[in-house]
Each structure stands twice: as structure tokens, then as C-alpha cells.
Structure 1
Amino acid sequence: MSVGQRTAERPPGTPPGEPDAPREPHARDWRGLGGGFVAKLLLMMLVNAAGVTAILSAYHAEAWVVLGLLVLLLVVADWVYFARRTVPLKYLLPGLVFLAVFQVFTLGYTGYVAFTNYGTGHLGSMQQAVDAALIQDEREVEDSPQYPLAVVRDGDVLGFAVADAEADEVLVGTAEQPLEAVDGAQLDDRGAPASVPGWEVVPRAQLFSDADLQAAVVALRVPVSDDAEDGSLRTREGATAGVYTSRLVWDADAETITNTETGVVYSASDRGQFVSPDGDRLAAGWYVNVGFDNFVRAFTDATYATPLAKVAMWTFAFATLTVLTSFGLGLLFALIYNDPRIRGRKVLRTIFILPYAFPAFMSALLWRGMLNSEFGVVNEWFFLGADIGWLSDPWLAKLAILWVNLWLSYPYWFLVTTGALQALPGDVMEAARVDGAGRWRQFRSITLPMLMVSTAPLAIASFAFNFNNFTIIYMLTDGGPAFPGASTPMGSTDILISAIYQISGVSGGRADYGLASALSIVVFVVIGIISALAFRRTRKLEEI
């Protein structure tokens, strides 16, 4: 650097030859701070506040793995956004976090559930199963005193307030808090609490008129004390409450539940159930690791194996036929309306892609009404009012699904193939015509192979999409009609994804999340293998 350059860079007013005026340490850094830094600081304050809240929630829930991941994630976020040498990570971190939360965690948790018996009857821990068994077996104690009752409320929390005449006090409790005495309560004419400090007494008129409130009050059980064997208060009409206890006694050291009336002892098994020596089981259980049992059961248990085999074959047929028919029809229309001799091509193209503009679930519901065998317009207009069970006959229902899905998906291929046709090199087609190739020869040897190079990856994606096309199945047929004599919630038009939905019990019935997760993994692997093989084939097309 020359002297002139150094002089030009000196602060104004500094005489030549004088040394540079000393500056405050880090003065350049603080002068460079602007609105961007302040915005980043405020944003990271919100991120840290949300992170600390989530960490505290995980701590109270004793979810130690989640707590550790949250702490690690928060430390990494602070380091990335306040360090100087992590510029690329500042842009990558949000995407990586969302990928981990919505993809990696989902896949990992699905894999974890697939190796458990998580489902109806196995939804919690062993202690929760014990509590559920004791509650389910509760009976009212003989000669139990009937306490005058008032239903009290604190926000959304319901509780019982009862007057204990012998102790001359009022007791209040909730489902989580056992009964305890309160001061300052007043009683009404029938001896029930009329006002309770810190609580709102629910008027009896409201109790009788609100069906949801009635159900909540009848289901409410308030522990008498911290000892579960002392029983709990319950009511049937909301005016009086009695003490209920269970015949079952829990031995935490031996991990057994004993029926005090019959003397039968139920021991904890490695399958998450309490089993008696005779093989009887209590309804309440807990989830445990069962290894590969869910995968084995899917292929060997006659209850599931036969229906799932039929569903799997129909799934492959549905996905394959949908791609072939929709691609063929879309390409046909693209070839027709790519001819410059046709007038009004823009208007006609717009009309033909209209089904693609409607939401799929709305279109499926519309077709469900039109295909109704009793009042649907399809039977009325095209089959002279004949009673054709388009959605009740297994084969007709499959045909209806293929037809509706063709109507929904061909506009997509119409758009794709139209663009691909217009991108084909004209000199190649001209050379083919000069060599004497006819229209069919040009299409078979030139147009179609060149189209497949650009559309084959989209066809693979379309196959994967239709392999898991839950919307059309659920909205049009809901998987029905059911398999004759089958005990599983699967039907003739179910594909694997809708069968998994039925097995999971989300729509009602018995839930088997472990089996549903195992089948989800199987579907994931199948789609991955098919896609990998298909993409290898696509690369060969590019060489051609």
C-alpha cells in the first residue's frame, strides 16, 4: 500500500505525519450493527423462549430422550446464528430442522412403533394399565354413606364438593387431586355445599340441561385419599355421591393383580398383559417390544394374511392401470390437439384440463353421488334407471375407481405430453418423413421413445403417488364393499394405504398401531425398490 493510499484512508482532520487516532476496541463491530442484527437477536430470543418452554415440558413429562434432543438443538441453533464462521449453516439449519422433525422423526417413530404391540388395550405404561384395571372393576361399597354433592368447576376442571356430617367439614377434590377439607364453605337446605371458596358451584339446572356436562360428571371419579385402595367418590345423578372401590389389589413388588373375591392372581407377562394361571387376561394392558411379531403376523396370521394379499394385488393393479390409462388418454389428446389444423385449440385444451383444476376429494364425492345405485344420475341418464350397484359390487366398484381416477388424472398427462411434444426437435421428424416413415412409424420409433425420456420419471412418481392414493379410495368407496365373512376392517377396493388406515383404528373400531406401522414400512420398502428399478430403466432410455 502506498503512502498516498494510507493518507487517503486517514480520518478527516488528522494532520499528515501524525499517528492514527486510537479507536475504541471493537468500534468497527458495533458501528456495523444494524436492523438485521437486531431482528436476528429478537428472533433468537423467541426461539430460545420456545425452546426453554419445550425443554421444561419434556422435563415434567420425563421424556428424557426428547429433552436431550431439544437441548442439543437449541445449543446448535444459538451457536450457528451467533458464530461468524457458520454462514452456510445459517441458511441450511431451518431446512435441516424441518427435515428432521417432519421426515426423519416420523420415519423413526413409525419404525419404533412397528416393533411394539401399541394399540387398543396397550396404550400406556404398566402403571396406567393397573390404574385402568382398578377403575374398570370399581363397585360401590356396600352400606356406603351417600354424601350430599355439589359439582364444582375451576375453568375447565370439574370436581366434587361433599359435606361430611360426621367431621362437620366440606371436602373438595378432582380427578387428579384427592379430597381435602376447605374452609369457609356454606351449605344449602339439603346439606350440600352451596358455595365453596375458590370454586364455582355448577347450578343444578345447568347440570340437567347439558348432556355433555352430565356425561363428564357421571364419568368423574375423585380419589378419597392418596391410597388408591381407599376408593373414590362417584355419582350417578349429580345430587349424591358414594364410595366406590375395586375388588382388584395391585402388588407393585410382585407385579401382580389379585381379585380379592375369587382369589385369582393375574401376573404381568412379557406381552404387556395381566394373565391368570388359567389363561384369562385383563382388558387393560401396556405396550412392550414384540420384535418382528407384527411383520410375521401380517404374512402368516389367517385373519390378516388373506385379505392383505388381495389388497396388495389390487394395489399394484390399481397403480399400474391408472398410470397406463391416464398416460395413454392424455397422450392421445395431446397428439390430437397439437395438430395446427384444429381450430380453437386453446379453448379445447382449457376445457380438457378442467378436472385437474378441481380438488380431488370434491370430485370423488361428486362421483360418489352420481354413481349411487338408487338416485345417481349415471343409472338414471345412461342405463334407463337400472339398479346397477357401481359401489356395492366388488368388480364394479373397482371399475368405478379406475374410471374416476382416469377422469381426475388424464389432464395432468395431457399437459405434460403436450409440452413434451412441442419440445421435440422438428428436424428429426422432418428427416423421418423424408426417409418415408409414416405416421405410425414416426410415433412408434421416434415420438414415443423421445417422450419416454422426459416423462418416464414422472410416470414413476405417478405410480408411487397412486400406490398411496388414499383420497380417491376413502372418498369414493371407503374401501368397500367388505370382504365376505372377513373379520378385518378391509374391503374389496382398499389399497394398502387405506387398509393401513382401517387397521390403525382411526376411523373407529379396534386400533392396532403396531401392525399398521409395520405395514407402512413394508409399503415404504416396496415403493423404494420399484422406484430404484424404474429409474435404472429410465437411464437406459436416455442412452437410446
Structure 2
Amino acid sequence: MRGESTPTGAVRPAAGAPRRVSRGPDGLIGILAKIILLGLVDAAAAYGLFQLAVSEEWVVFGISLVVTLAVNWIYLGKRRLPAKYLAPGLIFLLVFQVFVMFYSTYIAFTNYGDGHNSTKEDAIHAIQLSALERVPDSPQYAATVVEDGDELFLLVTDPTGQVSLGGPEQPLEPVEEPVERDGTGKAVAVEGYETLQFADLLNRQADVAELVVPLSEDLEDGTLRTQDGSTAYVFKPRLTYDAAADTFTNTTTGVVYSDSGEGTFRAESGETLGVGWKINVGFENFERAVTDPDLRGPLLQVVLWTFAFAFLSVLTTFALGLFLAIAFNRADLRGKRIYRVLMILPYAFPAFLSGLVWSGLLNPEFGFINNALLGGADIAWLTDPWMARFSVLLVNLWLGYPYMFLVCTGALQSLPPDVEEAARMDGAGAWRIFSAIKLPLLLVSLAPLLISSFAFNFNNFNVIYMLTGGGPRFAGTTFDIGATDILITMVYKVAFGTGTGRDYGLASALAIIIFIVVALVSTISFNRTKALEEIN
């Protein structure tokens, strides 16, 4: 029996006919999927908001809360279809691009780095902990190391028999009975905590030695530390902090350290305490990049090499890729599909893995190229500055030409054949056809790809770091910077490398300089490509 027609023209299902489950976004399955996915998102957001609230990160907490409410408002409504498609991409853009850009800019104007990575209050606390010394004739506490979850605590019995319990974040507090004691009266267990046995103490010896338990909320009153897990002694900092004067005083020498205004405590002699805090330094990091004699010379060489490396990499890979594309584009060439597959094999290997393999092949002492191909020749492929630069360009050519081969092959096949035929009928030779017709037409479509390739090689971290590590290192500088370093590897070393230690503020300033340079070069290059569009 057929369904009846309603006044609006819709067909009403016949009586007794089975109803189909709607599978659209507003159907039963769509609503269930929406509830499950939103529930997972809200659960993750609730956990993150709780952690932010505990850490008192109220700005990030407020932003996260607004984003979470906006996501629920968008996906629980029925008339916000465009926003439902745009929201995920917009959120990822804000988190992974906009936020990273603004945060890096903020860090560039600070002294954030080793010794300056937290607040002043945290720095004062760290200085007090690092200056702890055992108090002479300190009373001996019978100690037992106990555990709650993954956190260690000290259960101690003082000479009077009083039992107390404390941890790194929990000052020592008396423990009410009952506690379990051994034959000497030492407390060895307490309810709610697991006692570490001798084997456990051996396995966690480093954690036990680093365990510091404050006697009170004020670290000046002293702390308890144990080396063997059975006895503890009182330690007090040799540097005492005067909150009213904002100074540290060495109790042994009497030297006073005051706030230098540069994120450190400094004595009149110029000596500073090892732990500082993060402050805003304005354009100091940018000034260091061009005025610091320890950095200025290497930075200039790195900038010149970065431009040379990016330009020569694009030039060589494009030339080889175009040559091979023309060679394998002949209609009468047999097996050209197999040849094309072989040509793109280097492109199939990860760049970082290829860099490591080539590093072994080019090793001057036991590499395959020197020992096998060149009969034991002593060529410093990676240790001589100019040979190392040549090696980097050679390996990058091997890695980059397959991409150019692919794009040039596609561009050649899109060229109209009648133009070449007309040129041949006019008597033009092969070189004339290539230089006056094919190459200009190819550049019209390939110029944006060449510009993007230049930008990629300007920041080609993998091939530099995996092949040479940026070496050989420059002499006369404390920074770990070498002849093959480009700006991006230099930034990495400044931020995470050796030498002068981690300096995230300076690294962020250099990253901003890279961004500005690449943006300017790309803008100028794209404007110049408009001239090629006149060729038709």
C-alpha cells in the first residue's frame, strides 16, 4: 500500500511500514555521535581547566573556558552549519600558529633561559635550597622513608621520641598515635603510607638523597635531609633572605647580594647567585644579535651561508630536475615509467635518515666513499669548512631533485605542443626552443614553487643537523656555531644546545629575524613573478 500525500506535498509513510533511522547530522545517529564527541571534548576541557585553576593560570583558564563554551554553543545549535566546519580549523590555527607567534614574540623580549626560567619567588626558594649546609652538632633524627603514590616523605623520630612526618611540599608535622615502632622506639610505619624497604632504598637512592623536608613554612628554620634513609640531620641555608631589604646575606662571609634589576641577585664585587628569574629586557636580545662580539661575527657568516645555501639548493635541484624531466619526457623513450620511479626514490626516504646515512658514507676516516670509491683517499668531506658546505649542497641535491623532477615533468606535459612545432617550422633549434619558449612558460607556473622551495631550504633543519651538526665549529666564540649552520640550526643550538647554555629569549629574537627575512624575500619574489605572467 502506497503512502498518502499530505497537503504540503510530502508523502506520509503507509501504516505499518518500518521507519528508517535518520543518518543525517540531525538524525538519531548524528545526535548520538555529537553527544559522544562533545562529551569527550568537554571532559578533556574540564580536566585542563582544573589543572589551570590549580596552577593559577587565570588568563589561559579564561581563554580556555570561553573556547569550550563557544564550541558547545556552535555544535549544539542547528543553524550554525558554516561555523561547525570552520571552528576546528580556526581553533588549530589559533593554537598552533597565532599563539605560538605571539608567545615567541613575548619570549624574545625577556631573558628567559637557563637560570632565568621562573618567577622571583621561585628563584628565592631555589637559592635557599641550593645553599643548604648541615648544621654543626645537629641532632640526629631516626628516619624512615615512606611513600604516598610516587611522592616520598620522611617519617622521623626526634631524640625525645616525638614522631613527625613531612615531605618536600609539606613541612614537618607531629603524627598522632598510633604509629608502628621497632625495638629502639623508632617509628617505622604509619597508616596511609607505604614504608620503603632496604631494596627499595637502593633502587631509589638518588631520589632519597634529594629529599628535602622543611622543618616549618620558613626555610630559614632549616630542613631535614638523609643520605642513607635511616638517619636525618638538620640543614640550614648559608644564604639568608631579608624580605624587607630584598637581599641575601652569606652567613659565612657576610657578603650581601641585592636585586640587580636584571633578574639576578648581585654583590658589589659583581658576583651573582646562580639562580635568577624571568624579566622583560626590551630589545636587548635583538641588540645582542648585532653588537655582541661573541655572536656578531658568527651570525654574519651564518646569514650569508643561509642565503647561499637556499639559493644554490634551489638552483641545483631545479637544474637537475628539469634536465631529467626533459630527458625522460621523450615520447619514443622505452621504459620511461620505470626510470621515473627510480628517479623519485630519494624522495621516498625520510630526510633525517638520509642525512645520517650520508654522514656515514662521507666520514673521512672510515666512510665508504673515501675507502671504497676513492681508494683510501683522505678527503675531509665533513671536517673542512668548504668541503662540508659542498657536501651539504651535494646531499641536498640528491634529496631535492626528485621533487623538481616531478613538478617539471608535470609542467612540461602541460605545455601546448603546437608552440614547439611552430618554432621548429620557423627553423629554431633545440636550445632556442628551450631558452625562448619552454623555460619562460615553465617559469610562469613554477615560479611560486621555486619561491616556496627557497623558503623551505632557508629553514632546512634536517639535512644540516643530521649530516654535519652545523660543524665544523667556528673558533673564537663560546656559542656552538659552525661553518654549515644556517639560521634555523643556529636558533636551535642557542635555545637547546651547549656552549653558553639555553637562551630562549635570544633564540626567539633570532627566530623573529628569520621570519622577517623570509617574509621580505617571499614578498619581493612574488611581486617579481608578476612580470612572468606577461608571457603568453
Instruction: Give the TM-score normalised by the residue count of structure 2.
Output: 0.93
Residue pair 1:148, 1:190 contacting (<8 A) in 2 also: no
In the alignment, which residue of structure 2 is the partner of 1:62? 56
In the alignment, which residue of structure 2 is the partner of 1:19? none
Residue pair 2:295, 2:477 contacting (<8 A) in 1 also: no
Distance 2:325 2:397 in 1: 15
Q: Structure 2: give runs of 5+ residues left out of the alignment.
A: 15-25
How far does the alpha carbon of each residue in 1:251-285 deviate from its partner, in whole angstroms, 9 at most, with x for none?
23332222233333222232111122333211110
Corresponding letter in the other structure for 1:69: I
Distance 2:38 2:120 in 1: 41
In the alignment, which residue of structure 1 is the partner of 2:454? 463
Give the match's secondary structure for 2:274.
Answer: strand
Alignment of 1:252-401 (within 5 A): 252-401=243-392
Residue pair 2:139, 2:159 contacting (<8 A) in 1 also: no
- Deviation, 1:325, is 0.4
Residue pair 2:473, 2:483 contacting (<8 A) in 1 also: yes
Residue pair 1:149, 1:239 contacting (<8 A) in 2 also: yes
How far does the alpha carbon of each residue in 1:456-485 deviate from its partner, in whole angstroms, 9 at most, with x for none?
111111111111111111111111111122
Corresponding letter in the other structure for 2:301: K
In the alignment, which residue of structure 2 is the partner of 1:181? 174
Distance 1:217 1:249 in 2: 25
Residue pair 1:152, 1:160 contacting (<8 A) in 2 also: yes
Corresponding letter in the other structure for 2:273: L
Alignment of 1:395-434 (within 5 A): 395-434=386-425
Give the match's secondary structure for 1:318.
Answer: helix
Aligned-pair RMSD on alpha carbons?
A: 2.0
- Deviation, 1:149, is 2.1
Distance 2:189 2:280 in 1: 51
- Deviation, 1:506, is 4.9
Give the match's secondary structure for 1:234.
Answer: strand
Q: 1:10 to 1:257 in 2, by over 3 A?
A: same
Distance 1:200 1:252 in 2: 39
Give the match's secondary structure for 1:52.
Answer: helix
Distance 2:209 2:318 in 1: 59
Give the match's secondary structure for 2:269.
Answer: coil
Which one of 483, 488, 491 corresponds to residue 497 of structure 1? 488
Q: 1:337 to 1:8 in 2, by over 3 A?
A: closer
How far does the alpha carbon of each residue in 1:306-343 deviate from its partner, in whole angstroms, 9 at most, with x for none?
11111111111111111100110111111111112332
Q: Structure 1: give runs of 5+ residues left out of the alignment.
A: 14-31
Corresponding letter in the other structure for 1:65: V
Structure 2 residue 118 is the aligned partner of structure 1 residue 124? yes
Distance 1:189 1:494 in 2: 67
Distance 2:183 2:394 in 1: 72
Corresponding letter in the other structure for 1:313: L
Q: More displaced, 34-43 or 514-523?
A: 34-43
Residue pair 1:150, 1:238 contacting (<8 A) in 2 also: yes
Which one of 39, 43, 49 corresponds to residue 37 of structure 2? 43
How far does the alpha carbon of each residue in 1:322-378 deviate from its partner, in whole angstroms, 9 at most, with x for none?
110011011111111111233221111111211111111111111111111111110
In the alignment, which residue of structure 2 is the partner of 1:170? 163
Residue pair 1:224, 1:233 contacting (<8 A) in 2 also: yes
How far does the alpha carbon of each residue in 1:390-428 deviate from its partner, in whole angstroms, 9 at most, with x for none?
111111111111111101111111111111111110011
Q: 1:40 to 1:533 in 2, by over 3 A?
A: same
Distance 2:170 2:135 in 1: 21
- Deviation, 1:448, is 0.4
Percent of residue pairs identical: 50
Distance 2:488 2:281 in 1: 23
Distance 1:11 1:537 in 2: 64
- Deviation, 1:133, is 0.9
- Deviation, 1:138, is 1.0
Aligned residues: 519
Distance 1:461 1:7 in 2: 57
How far does the alpha carbon of each residue in 1:428-475 deviate from its partner, in whole angstroms, 9 at most, with x for none?
111111111100000000000111111111111111111111111111
How far does the alpha carbon of each residue in 1:192-231 deviate from its partner, in whole angstroms, 9 at most, with x for none?
44323222221223323x2xx2112112211111121111
Structure 2 residue 144 is the aligned partner of structure 1 residue 153? no
- Deviation, 1:137, is 1.1
Which one of 494, 498, 501 corresponds to residue 510 of structure 1? 501
Distance 2:48 2:63 in 1: 11
Instruction: Give the TM-score normalised by the residue count of structure 1.
Output: 0.91
Distance 2:270 2:480 in 1: 27
In the alignment, which residue of structure 2 is the partner of 1:242? 233
Distance 2:415 2:13 in 1: 66
- Deviation, 1:507, is 6.4
